């Protein structure tokens, strides 16, 4: 889902693990519900009714699938299941939910969607944002989403890293983006070898928020493996036909992005949201923040990366907390019914924890949309501030299309900071991108001004008007048009 509030997640999850200066302790509060291992009582025979698939190249991985699913969008073919990973001392189990394209499953691209957090389930994207259906108020069923991204794409939602959503382990959790990317790659190999009719389709990795880390890492992993496969005749792995990466309101280059919180707080489009003294204080603290992030970028260790997360989140996010506004959409107040500001998140949990829904999905675990302990583990591993932006230049050099889009009412991963890092990115066509003009986007579907974009060669930045952190939730028609243009352009190339 979203990249959960940087301050409350970064500091709250570290509160029991590191020594925090006393002047910051009043900022620490629990943002996520605690993790739960509670299991629901469902039919065990149903849970064990799986279609099993393995690959010799991945001896520790097993794919198990249920193919007859009629939830959400009963008019399209669906698969749900798990990728099971046998470890030396523990096992991991990743949950996925796949929907065929409503238009032409045999030819339309395959799109993977990932929510962020780190620690939030991708089923939030399914049932709140871009999936084939949306949950009803109270969690009593779902309603078809006419603007789903599977209108013109085969769409798969993956709960990763481990312990997110319906994914689970009895042992150690994944604590960093690189390990998470390895598991995603193994899943893709097993799924596409099992259902090889999708193997030749154009493939796109998409996501929002902390997926600003995940998406570049997964893209780099796929391309690295593809290169290894093409250089040897002995591998039975197959090349994944990666065509594009799309990141919405992501955290990709913290060094640049953290500088622009003050600008977002001062921006007059929906504000300003803070007074001048708060904004100037934020600006005065950025040099220290910058120095700490630079240390992380240089040394890439937990010891050098955790301090920047603590200091910078307090310096740049704490002033926002007093406003009472929704940090993911500054146009409204935070909904008090849910700690993440949206009542629909509770509806999703209610729906997915119904016994009949769990029986249909072959799951027997309590669903939680976001989990604090996963966030803490990523924080303690120093993953938060790491520069996954650095893997994008070689990805662009290989001709992969990259779209960075951002709703302009989001504060936490705001459009100003996202645009800034795209302009500062050093790649082979940096000058061309910097000299390109911003163009207005008039939606063909609604006829309304939908945003503004800048592009050069295979790199694009898009500001989406009147949208917060979850662009597909706030602008469903425009987000659907956006992704269809992106994957369609990639297909033509």
List the catalytic residue out of 93, 455, 469, 478.
469
Whether residue 37 is predicted with pLDDT greater than 70 in this model: the reply is no
Distance of CA 249 to the CA centre of its chain: 9
Tell me the DSSP string of 76-117: S-EEEEEEEEE-SS-EEEEEEEEE--SS-TTTSPEEEEE--T
pLDDT number for residue 177: 87
**What is the residue-averaged pLDDT of the chain?**
89
Across 375-388, average pLDDT:
89
β partners of residue 155: 99, 111
pLDDT number for residue 88: 62
The percentage of the chain sitting over the pLDDT mark of 70, rounded to a whole number, equals 88
What's the CA gap between 215 and 229, in Å, rounded?
A: 21
89 pLDDT band (50/70/90 cuts)? Answer: low
Across 430-454, average pLDDT:
98
With CA atoms as reference, report the closest residue to 335 among 141, 129, 137.
Answer: 137
Tens of pLDDT along 243-292?
999 999 999 999 999 999 999 999 999 999 999 999 999 999 999 999 99
Tens of pLDDT along 312-346?
999 999 999 899 999 999 999 999 888 899 999 99
pLDDT number for residue 491: 56
Is residue 278 among the annotated active site residues? no
Is residue 209 among the annotated active site residues? yes
Whether residue 371 is predicted with pLDDT greater than 70 in this model: the reply is yes
β-strand pairing of 329-333 with 401-407: unpaired
pLDDT number for residue 396: 98
The backbone torsions φ and ψ at residue 80, rounded to the nearest 5 degrees and listed phi first, read -130, 155
pLDDT number for residue 31: 27
Burial degree of 109 (CB within 10 A; 0-12, 13-18, 19+):
buried
pLDDT: is 380 or 257 the higher one?
A: 257
To 10 degrees, the CA torsion angle through 327, 329, 330, 335? -70
pLDDT number for residue 28: 23
Across 48-55, average pLDDT:
87
Among 29-43, 130-144, 195-209, 264-278, the minimum mean pLDDT is found in 29-43
pLDDT number for residue 18: 31
Query: What is each CA distance from 68 to 42, 94, 123, 255, 351, in whole angstroms?
Result: 18, 19, 19, 47, 19
Dihedral sign of CA atoms 345, 350, 351, 357 in order = positive
pLDDT: is 30 or 363 the higher one?
A: 363
Is residue 410 among the annotated active site residues? yes
Across 304-313, average pLDDT:
95
199 pLDDT band (50/70/90 cuts)? Answer: very high
H/E run at residue 54: strand 51-54
14 pLDDT band (50/70/90 cuts)? Answer: very low
Whether residue 223 is predicted with pLDDT greater than 70 in this model: the reply is yes
Owner of token pair 């008090």: 336
List the catalytic residue out of 209, 479, 480, 490.
209
Q: Count of alpha carbons within 13 Å of 256, Cβ hemisphere only?
A: 21
Tell me the DSSP string of 153-171: SEEEEE--STTSTT-EESS
Whether residue 441 is predicted with pLDDT greater than 70 in this model: the reply is yes
What's the CA gap between 57 and 161, in Å, rounded?
A: 22
pLDDT number for residue 22: 32
7 pLDDT band (50/70/90 cuts)? Answer: very low
pLDDT number for residue 109: 98
| CATH class of residue range 44-254+385-492 | alpha beta
Whether residue 54 is predicted with pLDDT greater than 60 in this model: the reply is yes
Distance of CA 226 to the CA centre of its chain: 23
pLDDT number for residue 185: 96
pLDDT number for residue 418: 98
175 pLDDT band (50/70/90 cuts)? Answer: confident
What's the CA gap between 206 and 215, in Å, rounded?
A: 7
Which residues are within 8 A (CB) of 336 and not within 5 positions of it... i.e. 6 or more apart? none
pLDDT number for residue 212: 97
Across 86-109, average pLDDT:
91
pLDDT number for residue 308: 95
List the catalytic residue out of 329, 364, 410, 474.
410
With CA atoms as reference, report the closest residue to 493 among 11, 100, 109.
Answer: 109
Neighbours of 414 (CB within 10 A): 25
């Amino acid at each position: 889902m979203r990249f959960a509030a940087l301050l409350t997640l970064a500091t709250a999850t570290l509160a029991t693990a590191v020594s925090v200066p006393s002047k910051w302790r009043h900022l620490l509060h629990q943002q996520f519900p605690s993790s739960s291992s509670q299991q629901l009582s469902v039919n065990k025979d149903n849970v064990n009714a799986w279609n099993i698939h393995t690959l010799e190249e991945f001896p520790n991985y097993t794919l198990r699938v249920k193919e007859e699913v009629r939830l959400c969008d009963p008019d399209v073919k669906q698969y749900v299941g798990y990728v099971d990973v046998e470890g030396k001392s523990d096992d991991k189990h990743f949950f996925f939910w796949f929907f065929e394209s409503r238009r032409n499953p045999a030819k339309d691209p395959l799109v993977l969607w990932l929510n962020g957090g780190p620690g939030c389930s991708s089923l939030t994207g399914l049932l709140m944002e871009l999936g084939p259906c949306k949950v009803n108020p109270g969690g009593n069923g779902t309603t078809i989403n006419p603007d789903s991204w599977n209108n013109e794409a085969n769409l798969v939602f993956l709960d990763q890293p481990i312990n997110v959503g319906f994914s689970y382990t009895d042992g150690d959790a994944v604590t960093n983006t690189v390990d998470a990317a390895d598991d995603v790659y193994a899943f893709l190999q097993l799924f596409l070898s099992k259902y090889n009719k999708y193997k030749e389709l154009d493939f796109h990795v998409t996501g929002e928020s902390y997926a600003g880390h995940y998406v570049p890492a997964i893209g780099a992993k796929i391309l690295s493996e593809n290169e290894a496969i093409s250089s040897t005749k002995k591998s039975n792995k197959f090349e994944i036909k990666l065509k594009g990466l799309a990141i919405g309101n992501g955290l990709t280059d913290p060094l640049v992005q953290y500088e622009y919180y003050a600008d977002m707080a001062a921006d007059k489009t929906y504000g300003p949201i803070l007074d001048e003294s708060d904004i100037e204080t934020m600006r005065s603290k950025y040099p220290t923040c910058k120095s700490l992030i630079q240390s992380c970028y240089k040394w890439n260790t937990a010891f050098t990366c955790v301090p920047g997360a603590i200091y910078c989140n307090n310096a740049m996010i704490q002033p926002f907390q007093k406003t009472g506004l929704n940090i993911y959409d500054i146009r409204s107040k935070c909904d008090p019914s849910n700690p993440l500001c949206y009542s629909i998140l509770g509806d999703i949990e209610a729906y997915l924890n119904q016994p009949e829904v769990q029986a249909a999905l072959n799951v027997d675990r309590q669903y939680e949309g976001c989990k604090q302990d996963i966030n803490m583990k990523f924080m303690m591993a120093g993953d938060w501030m790491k520069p996954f932006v650095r893997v994008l230049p070689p990805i662009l050099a290989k001709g992969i299309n990259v779209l960075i889009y951002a709703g302009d009412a989001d504060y936490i991963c705001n459009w100003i900071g996202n645009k800034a890092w795209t302009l500062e990115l050093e790649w082979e066509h940096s000058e061309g991108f910097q000299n390109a003009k911003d163009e207005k986007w008039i939606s063909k579907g609604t006829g309304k001004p939908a945003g503004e974009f800048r592009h050069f060669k295979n790199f694009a930045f898009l500001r989406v008007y009147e949208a917060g952190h979850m662009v597909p939730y706030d602008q469903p028609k425009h987000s659907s048009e956006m992704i269809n243009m992106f994957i369609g352009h990639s297909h033509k190339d």
